[in-house]
Structure 1
Amino acid sequence: MNGKIRIAIAGHGNLGRGVEAAIEHNPDMSLAGIYSRRPAGQITPRQTETPVHGMEQLRSHADQIDVLILCGGSKEDLPQQGPELAALFNTVDSFDTHARIPEYFAAVDPAARDSQHTALISAGWDPGVFSLNRALGEALLPDGATYTFWGDGLSQGHSDALRRVPGVAGAVQYTRPAKDAINQVRKGGRPDLTPQQMHLRECFVVLEDGADAETVREAIVTMPHYFADYETVVNFISAEELARDHRAMVHGGFVIRSGTTSPGTTQVMEYSLKLGSNPEFTASVLVACARAVHRMHGLRQFGAKTIYDIPLGLLSPRSAEDLRAGFL
């Protein structure tokens, strides 16, 4: 492998395909294989030489993988896979159910620590990159308030949660930020905003044959951690409409910190993302984090980690000398 970091992918949906693409832009890495619950014949890798295996083969391939990137969904896949696979590999995942991150960390940490592995959880752009911006904003402007706006765009995690609802044949979910709320914060205000005042969640759902629309709608709008705290609109459409009108995966958002440094002196920090492909950008973050995990494991930093535990220099392929000379 010529000293390259050997990356493997567990799960080959949109995120897994994004990881494939991202690895091609990182010459210090190689793709050791794709592991999926689907039959190998149903998976077409970007590079014909990439090995494709069943998930059941992971355990026997542990010595061939430096970092395993978990590309399953947060609702059902990662809560089981995260602790199990952290006991066998160094891992990176994008678990994004914010309210359950402490619980998930507590499940992954002993599995990784006892087996002397390094497991980075909840990487991506939110949680992940936006998490860094929230912490930085509060540290630099302690007298202030932080606001996170998502969208306008398609949410992978929420769309996956929709597709798990009984009676749903296919679905996507869009997060729509409230422009009036954004403008208030950008002007230096500190409004007290509820989730309903900040975002609308709009769902487009294809029903399975025989499914009751109202039963499905109720299951969606009352789903904890995903829709229960938001104004949620559910639109029922045909499979043809879903395929025709909802293929793009654009997303993005803003983290804004509004604060004061002295009476009458307002400071506003803002970080924004405009993403042409949500899964491809998320995958790019996961791949950079895999580099950091490989390095941290070499330093014997075992156990579960989050983005707050990674020095920024470990994400970069550049040496410390290059970073000082080129970016500092």
Structure 2
Amino acid sequence: MNKIKIGIVGYGNLGQGVEVGLKNHPDMELVGIFSRRDPKTLDTQSPAYLVQDILDFKDKIDVLILCGGSKTDIPKQGPALIEHFNTVDAYDTHAEIPEYFNKMNPIAEKNQKVAVIATGWDPGLFSMNRLMQEAILPNGQSYTFWGRGVSQGHSDAVRRIKGVKEAAQYTVPDEMMINKILAGETVDYNQKDAHTREVYVVLEEDANPTKVEKEIKEMPNYFVGYQTGVSFISEEEFKAEHQSMPHGGRVIRQGKTSKDALSIIDFSLSLESNPEFTAAVNIAYARAAYKLSQEEKYGARTVLDIAPHYLSSKSREDLMRDLL
């Protein structure tokens, strides 16, 4: 069996999650990890290379999984790498996904590549569930909740602020609101009012905490409009209490199939490791990217565009027999 050859770009939490997750997929093999850091400094037994050498592997890799941050890495790396490789990324700046898609699609089509963008669990699995729930119950209301858990994207965005040495951002949902929805009550839902954000920051020496807190709370697409608490802590406290990365959430749809018949759909996730689960979703979509490339169906795709059978290593016949 010819295995799908995978490259990992970036070796933070998500990249490490992809490395671990690939061991669960016998139809795939890791060709290499590509990092801005010196490969000799990476804590890995896998082949590792400098990212600037990645074009030497154009004919050796079927799909690159981009594991950088959404704030600065993926917007630059995606358009540059799709010229030469099929790619999968977990770009999660929701408001800018259409713009990012419109940038990636023509480059992918021109170079006969496949770009699967904005995978993961939100955007990603939650996006699919929102679509399905709304299609099934058009007369109703959808609600999305995240947490309580560590947001990789938000934590990374905070770490990019000058003066921040380390950071973790927790998203906390309004549990009382969730319980009312599940009980069939109609609530006044606003995404920003339904969550609070807790940020724990380790500052560099001589950093200005007032300035850092202001920059966090005024960051567009991340914190503006949310009730956000910023706590400055020691590096020792951070290492002791903020190393695990749990997360989760749910997509709920209340809808009526007739005047008096209420239905509630509830899709939920509870994750001990946010990066490892996000990586697992990316790996499945890397398989989809490979299949689409083999079928010469080039261009950019989101999870809303890809049929579920593309994610599986099983044949369509086996899927029909086993899962329908």
**Range class of TM-score, shorter chain:** over 0.9
Aligned residue for 2:200, secondary structure, equals strand
1:102-139 superposed Cα distances (whole Å, 9 cap, x missing partner): 11111111111110000000000100000000000000
Alignment counterpart, residue 204 of structure 2, candidates 208, 213, 223: 208
Q: Give the % identical residues.
A: 49
Name the aligned partner's letter for residue 82 of structure 2. A
1:217-260 superposed Cα distances (whole Å, 9 cap, x missing partner): 00000100000021100000011111111011110000000111
Matched, 1:36 2:35: yes
Matched, 1:320 2:313: no
Name the aligned partner's letter for residue 220 of structure 1. I
CA distance in 2, matches of 1:263, 1:18: 47
CA distance in 2, matches of 1:241, 1:140: 47
**Alignment match, 2:247:** 251
Aligned 8 A contact 2:253 2:266 in 1: yes
**Alignment match, 2:290:** 294
CA distance in 2, matches of 1:111, 1:44: 34
Aligned 8 A contact 2:67 2:90 in 1: yes
Counterparts of 1:146-295 in structure 2 under 5 Å? 146-295=142-291
* Consecutive unaligned residues in structure 1, runs of 5 or more: none
CA distance in 2, matches of 1:79, 1:21: 25
Matched, 1:13 2:9: no
1:39-63 superposed Cα distances (whole Å, 9 cap, x missing partner): 0111122xx3x31110011112110
Name the aligned partner's letter for residue 175 of structure 1. T
Aligned 8 A contact 1:148 1:255 in 2: yes
Name the aligned partner's letter for residue 273 of structure 2. S
* Consecutive unaligned residues in structure 2, runs of 5 or more: none
TM-score, normalised to structure 2, is: 0.99
RMSD: 0.8
Name the aligned partner's letter for residue 60 of structure 2. Q
CA distance in 2, matches of 1:122, 1:215: 31
TM-score, normalised to structure 1, is: 0.97
Q: Describe the shift of the 1:43–1:98 C-alpha distance in structure 2 as closer, same or farther (beyond 3 A).
A: same
Name the aligned partner's letter for residue 234 of structure 1. V
**Alignment match, 1:117:** 113
Aligned 8 A contact 2:144 2:191 in 1: no
CA distance in 2, matches of 1:79, 1:196: 25
Aligned residues: 324
CA distance in 1, matches of 2:157, 2:141: 30
